Amino acid sequence: MHSNSVFRSSLVSLWFRLVSLGIVGLVFAEGLVLAPGKVQGWTFYLTTWEVIFEVMVRVVCAALVGIILGTVFIAVALPFLRYFSASQDRVVQWTTNTGVVLVLFADSRFALTTLIKWSQHGSRFMTALLMLHFLAFVVALCIARARRELLASLDGFLGAKAARAMVVATLAAVIALEVTEFAFAHTGGGVKAAQISQRPKSNVLLISFDALSAEEMSMYGYKLPTTPNLDAFARNSTVFTNFYSVETFTTPSIATMLTGRYPSETRVFQLQGTVQGERTQTLPSLMHDAGYGTGAFLTNPFAHYLVSNPDNGFDILPEPAFQSGALQHLWDWTRPLHQNSGVGSRVAEYIDLESDWNGFRNLPGNLSMRFRPDASFEGARKVVDQLPDGFFLWVHVITPHHPYLPDPEDRGRFLSEAEGRKFAENSELQWVPHYNPDQQAQVDRRRLLYDEFLLSADRGKLSNTSVIVSADHGESFEGGIFRHESPYLTRPTIHIPLIIRTPGQQQARTVAFTADQTALAPTILDLAGQSKPGWMDGQSLAPWLSRESTDAGKGMAFAQFLEKNSIFKPLTHGTVGVIDGQYQFVLDLDTKKGTLRPLNESQIWNADRSAENPAKAQELLKAIYTRFPKLRHEAK
């Protein structure tokens, strides 16, 4: 009896020590991860309370993992504790000492690598310093006095009282976080059930492809047959040849598609964020109110998590399994800690978990970007199956977004298969703002791979309903700009397709009228017989669907790149551009200087003809300030 209770107390004492070590070690490491700019980055698009919430989520998760690890180690130590029953104290002490040494070594090493990364020294310097660190540790362990100090350095955390406090605090924090999320998830207004007795007779299907540049599509005149199916679809559709995205990357563009407002109004500037503003209505909530069954399947995590806030207006919005297997299970199991409450940043939590998990497994970080096009359409089909007739469905297909991974049947079509496979995603051509002319040949080869991937995207089957095909932004392989997310707003990064087929349309139409993405939501409402609310910036393009356009020079498209701004402050960084059908003018908000590019040079990031045509430059600058009067005011 007596020896049993001694055993139990040794076990409990060791468990507390190991758990404390786990918590201390991991929370310290998490602190290092949060410190280099991450918290500061959050302040750009999260309120102070949300930043605190996000820090809490990560610290609490680190502590939870510490508890789990401590428990795993106690299971390992258990047989030893039983076997050496005569000297249990020594086993406890020896195990604790090993744990202390491991935690101190791992944390100091991690701190060192983090510091070296901040100082941006070379890899040789890093290797030398890490070896020095290892040696210093071994030496410290060999010198009795240093060893004693080392082993005693974490004693403050290892007492039964401190250990118990840490475990209790972690569990209390978990409960507090869950209660917060739960409370917020249920205070949102929610979408009221539509009070419409009769469902609309027609359906509206919006298909947007991620990073699909109109410049690469055969139907827009590209030299390779990249979009045979869309070409066929366009034969009885209306094709808008001068349609532009409002941003050069996903999240702000998706927010505009959702609201018909410019990024400067939605205040979505970064890759993560939520639509701001006094009203919570969106295109799907308006369609819902008009009696439509609404659903979406969005296979880009940034798009999905932006749209899936509690008041999004979609009846059915399943969360795609962005990365099947263990990561998805982990995400599902820890769901109570990242509910869909609209507090904090769910996509930041997903991306962090994904990068931690994939970093740990040595997998590429962007596996979620590999959702296959057929899987996107299949997911959308399942959503449609659950919707009544008279539906509005939005499918966002991550294809042909980088990394370019064509289906097997498309490989080798434009580029030798061997070369296509050789393009590891971490090539020398990273997300560079612009590349040198001598790299053009490399970029051209990648362009062919993108073109093959585009073929794969093109294969999705379109159902026989009223269909709109577009993209969130473009992709560039010219003029010194590779891929998208570019502040220069060059044409290939924003020139996107817009193809609309109304029910029963038999003939092809071409509309050269210049418009941008803010027109999408008003057009869809117009097709649904609904009037556009006053707060939408764009105008419906539906009138163009019934008459042939000759107004090539008419219309204007605006684009913005505002990533460097906090959403809580006036806009002082980034670029705002306008295209009028002949020229593009891009205003740099930092320098207040603008560049004027004729449309046939607007793919070149540093082209500028404003000295040759100052009147045009002035006219377009005025157009920008007229469209965004707040900008002139805020820029001061």
Distance CA 480, CA 437 (A): 7
Judged by CB, which is closer to Zn ion: 294, or 300?
300
Judged by CB, which is closer to Zn ion: 482, or 628?
482
**Alpha helices per DSSP H over 344-436:** 346-360, 373-386, 417-422
Select from 215, 289, 315, 472 the one that contacts Zn ion (CB under 5 A).
Answer: 472
If one asks whether residue 208 binds Zn ion (CB under 5 A), the answer comes out as no
Smallest gap, in angstroms, from Cβ of residue 483 to Zn ion?
Answer: 10
If one asks whether residue 289 binds Zn ion (CB under 5 A), the answer comes out as no
The pair of structure tokens assigned to 138 is 């071994």
Smallest gap, in angstroms, from Cβ of residue 249 to Zn ion?
Answer: 6
Judged by CB, which is closer to Zn ion: 327, or 397?
397
Smallest gap, in angstroms, from Cβ of residue 253 to Zn ion?
Answer: 7
Smallest gap, in angstroms, from Cβ of residue 446 to Zn ion?
Answer: 17
Judged by CB, which is closer to Zn ion: 208, or 602?
208
Judged by CB, which is closer to Zn ion: 255, or 286?
255
If one asks whether residue 247 binds Zn ion (CB under 5 A), the answer comes out as no
Tell me the number of residues near Zn ion by CB under 5 A: 3
Judged by CB, which is closer to Zn ion: 319, or 475?
475
Smallest gap, in angstroms, from Cβ of residue 472 to Zn ion?
Answer: 4
Judged by CB, which is closer to Zn ion: 402, or 509?
402
Q: Build a one-symbol-per-residue string for 420-459: x at contacts with Zn ion by CB under 5 A, - elsewhere.
A: ----------------------------------------
Smallest gap, in angstroms, from Cβ of residue 268 to Zn ion?
Answer: 13
Binding region for Zn ion (CB under 5 A) out of 97-105, 183-191, 348-356, 468-476: 468-476
The pair of structure tokens assigned to 497 is 């397709």
Select from 30, 54, 181, 210 the one that contacts Zn ion (CB under 5 A).
Answer: 210
Q: At 399, which helix (H) or strand (E)?
A: none
Nearest to 185 by CA among 308, 310, 294, 285: 310
In the sheet with 509-516, reading across from the earlier edge strand, the strands are 293-298, 391-397, 204-209, 466-471, 498-501, 238-244, 509-516
If one asks whether residue 248 binds Zn ion (CB under 5 A), the answer comes out as no
- 132 CB-side CA count, 13 A: 8
If one asks whether residue 517 binds Zn ion (CB under 5 A), the answer comes out as no
Question: Please, is 475 exposed, middle or buried when counting C-beta atoms within 10 Å of its C-beta (0-12, 13-18, 19+)?
Answer: buried
Indicate left, alpha or beta for 390 from its phi (over 0: left) and psi (-120 to 50: alpha).
left
Helix (H, G, I), strand (E, B) or coil at 579: strand
Smallest gap, in angstroms, from Cβ of residue 300 to Zn ion?
Answer: 6
The pair of structure tokens assigned to 552 is 């090539």
What's 226-274 look like in SS3? CCHHHHHHHCCCEEEEEEECCCCCHHHHHHHHHHCCCHHHHCCCCCCCC
If one asks whether residue 216 binds Zn ion (CB under 5 A), the answer comes out as no
- Residue least distant from Zn ion (Cβ): 250
Smallest gap, in angstroms, from Cβ of residue 398 to Zn ion?
Answer: 8
> Which of the residues 7 through 66 are near Zn ion (CB under 5 A)?
none
- Cα distances (angstroms) measured from residue 224 to each of 216, 227, 228, 258, 455: 8, 9, 10, 32, 10
> Which of the residues 387 through 416 are near Zn ion (CB under 5 A)?
none
Judged by CB, which is closer to Zn ion: 298, or 545?
298
If one asks whether residue 560 binds Zn ion (CB under 5 A), the answer comes out as no
Smallest gap, in angstroms, from Cβ of residue 514 to Zn ion?
Answer: 22
Indicate left, alpha or beta for 576 from its phi (over 0: left) and psi (-120 to 50: alpha).
beta
The strand pair at 476-478 and 481-483 is best described as antiparallel
Select from 170, 203, 245, 250 the one that contacts Zn ion (CB under 5 A).
Answer: 250
Smallest gap, in angstroms, from Cβ of residue 252 to Zn ion?
Answer: 10
Distance CA 413, CA 409 (A): 8
The pair of structure tokens assigned to 576 is 């705002």
Question: Please, is 581 exposed, middle or buried when counting C-beta atoms within 10 Å of its C-beta (0-12, 13-18, 19+)?
Answer: middle
The number of beta carbons lying within 10 Å of the beta carbon of residue 392 is 30
Judged by CB, which is closer to Zn ion: 238, or 250?
250
Binding site for Zn ion (CB under 5 A): 210, 250, 472
